[in-house]
Structure 1
């Protein structure tokens, strides 16, 4: 995944858009500092139609579409393809106009009850200043994706108040465990508790799925986050929410540790780290030290930027470019226990 090129080209200017007061399924709470209602999509049921879109990088082959359809048909849905999912513009899944048109079409289509991104990659941030956030606010629907889709999840929450879901895309490996988690979230609308597996197997101690507590404590707040590169790249734009009293979660993939350090420095200098109440680091998949004279470690970076905050914080959560990742509602209120490594929903993420 090459995220560097999009950081150089994405547009960061956009006018603030007022949410229609008639927007349906509004929660009783609000995105406090944004002055907007928090919007919740309707829970899904078997037989519903899901739309599949490619808002970021182009697909390599037809098999990605076929596998995505098979997954969600197996879960009991009808699947509707966006018009431009096979399009290509350079490394992107079509021009900006084509990808915007697909997003707008899915939100305006009354038949479509939820939207799943087939993959991430790069390019979603190019769309943010031209999306119709009134349309999205007036038609709140489930949106599921991660990695580059972080840009959409954060913008939709900031501009429309919509709670979206950071989790597996269509081309992820859909295990039975992941399918069960999907059902609990989107069919049952459970007050989920997210925690790494605790089974030690035949071992005396836990070797896999370990967490590391950076600072003990229990804290409540709105859960906001996603891919670190995307969050850092949106600093200074109108598409990041106010992180005051939020619980921030981040993950990363295929980045040198010196770049991870630079992005944490950006979050610090932008005033984000000083505003949050809690912090969760997922996985930094294939993030390797680089540099001819040695390198900081990821532990060094977390120690330098997170521990001095003195807020509840832990790393190792099953968030990121890994199998069986958590499906997290971006914008929902949660309670986080940094010693136990748990994230507990305090409100249902759907209606």
Structure 2
């Protein structure tokens, strides 16, 4: 039995503990402006193609931005872009560099989770700036948000397709600082009804909460660590690529068993690119079957099909911003700007 003294000590500490909770902190990075410098990093897989890097540089220059490569940008250690300590040092250095306004991953792969214990979170908190990427970069987006309260950006990487759709959302969120409403494109083409980029309502309704999410595989492998937020009242969004349906089912089941799906206020499934049933054919469960089964029984609004993931046309979704989802309309409305 706890003693009366321990209760009194806990009561005395409570105000300080609640004050220092990272979940209560929202740290917005400065918005991106023409002439600002983008720091390009490779925190996961190596930069195999110098031509791809040059295309990235030219694309950012077309947006009126300058670029700067991290010191270990072209390093390679097997399937990683150099040793863990060097890749982490590059991220720390970019946050410390006052000439850099945004840090952008060149691409994903694997390796970001290995860096989480090596990052200087006090340094990051003192020098808030935009960090953007998707896929494996999810580990950095979630870990840094959980440890510092910094709003991070699930959006295009350097090697992304810089088309009009992707650029428009990028500029509206990060440069104009709009509290946008993310809505899928409506294009019927030469058909009687829309066939592409449709949304599916899994559970009707609206919900509000902070947006938290990213790549499902990466997120699910962080469960049990200190690099995930308190899930209570959050809006969870996920995406993935090249996963068998049964693996998607397994990871969503893991979220359920960990109690995460019972804590969230709403759910958005983006795209799972190349996630067809495979050799099992349609005798297998489809991803649609799995999503309906997993989320149709939940008591929170949920929908699938948002432009989030490994695709050419993508949203720039802030991690840690208050938002409202409408599962019937298939929209995510930011309730505040993601930048200052």
Question: 1:282: how far off?
Answer: 0.8
1:173 alignment partner, one of 147, 158, 161: 161
**Is it true that 1:158 corresponds to 2:178 in the alignment?**
no
Q: Say what the alpha-carbon RMSD is for the aligned residues.
A: 1.8
In the alignment, which residue of structure 1 is the partner of 2:54? 66
Report the equivalent of 2:203. 215
Instruction: State the shift of 1:290 in Å.
Output: 4.8
Give distance in 2, aligned partners of 1:197 and 1:160.
Answer: 34
SS in 2 for 1:262: helix
TM value normalised by structure 1: 0.89
SS at match of 2:94: helix
| Superimposed CA distance per residue, residues 43-66 of structure 1 (whole angstroms, 9 cap, x where no aligned partner) | 111011110001111121211221
SS in 2 for 1:178: helix
The residue number in structure 2 matching 1:340 is 329
Match of 2:264 in 1: 276
CA distance in 1, matches of 2:287, 2:280: 17
Moved more, 298-307 or 43-52: 298-307
d(CA) in 1 for partners of 2:27, 2:301: 27
Query: Which structure has the larger Rg over C-alpha atoms?
Result: 2
User: In the TM superposition, what is the alpha-carbon distance from 1:178 to its structure 2 partner?
Assistant: 1.8
Tell me if structure 2 keeps the 8 A contact 1:36–1:160.
no
DSSP 3-state at the match of 2:153: strand
2:308 paired with 1:319:
yes
What is the 5 A alignment of 1:75-114?
A: 75-114=63-102
TM-score scaled by length of structure 2: 0.91
Larger helix fraction of residues: 2
Q: Per-residue deviation at 1:33?
A: 6.6
Would you say the 8 A contact 1:31–1:38 is kept in 2?
no
**Tell me, which stretches of 5 or more residues in structure 2 are unaligned?**
1-15
- Give the match for residue 308 of structure 1: 297
1:169 deviates by: 0.6
Write the mapping of 1:177-188 to structure 2, written as runs, cut at 5 A: 177-188=165-176
Cα deviation code 1:72-129 (max 9, x no counterpart):
1111011111011100001001110110110011000001011111101111000111
Deviation at 1:199, TM superposition (A): 2.9
What residue number does 1:37 align with?
Answer: 25
| Alignment correspondent of 1:231 | 219
Q: C-alpha displacement at 1:268, in angstroms?
A: 0.7
SS of aligned partner of 2:270: strand
2:240 maps to 252
Q: Which residue of 311, 321, 330 corresponds with 2:319?
A: 330
Deviation at 1:32, TM superposition (A): 10
The more displaced of 84-93 and 62-71 is 62-71
Aligned twin of 1:52: 40
**Distance in 2 of aligned mates of 1:322 and 1:253:** 9
Cα distance change of structure 1 residues 93 and 31 upon mapping to structure 2, 3 Å threshold: farther
Instruction: For 1:31 and 1:335, locate their aligned partners in 2 and report how far apart those are by CA, in whole Å.
Output: 26
Question: Contact 1:31–1:37 (CA<8 Å) still a contact in 2?
Answer: no
The separation in 2 between residues aligned to 1:32 and 1:306, in whole angstroms, is 34
Aligned residues: 323
Q: Per-residue deviation at 1:31?
A: 11
SS of the aligned residue for 2:52 comes to: helix
Contact 2:325 2:331 in 1 (8 A): yes
SS at match of 1:177: helix
Secondary structure of 1:68's match?
helix
- What runs of 5+ residues in structure 1 fail to find an aligned partner? 1-20, 22-29
Q: Tell me if the contact between 2:143 and 2:228 (Cα under 8 Å) persists in the aligned partners.
A: yes
Q: Is the contact made by 2:204 and 2:328 (CA closer than 8 Å) also made in structure 1?
A: yes
Cα drift, residue 202 of structure 1: 3.8
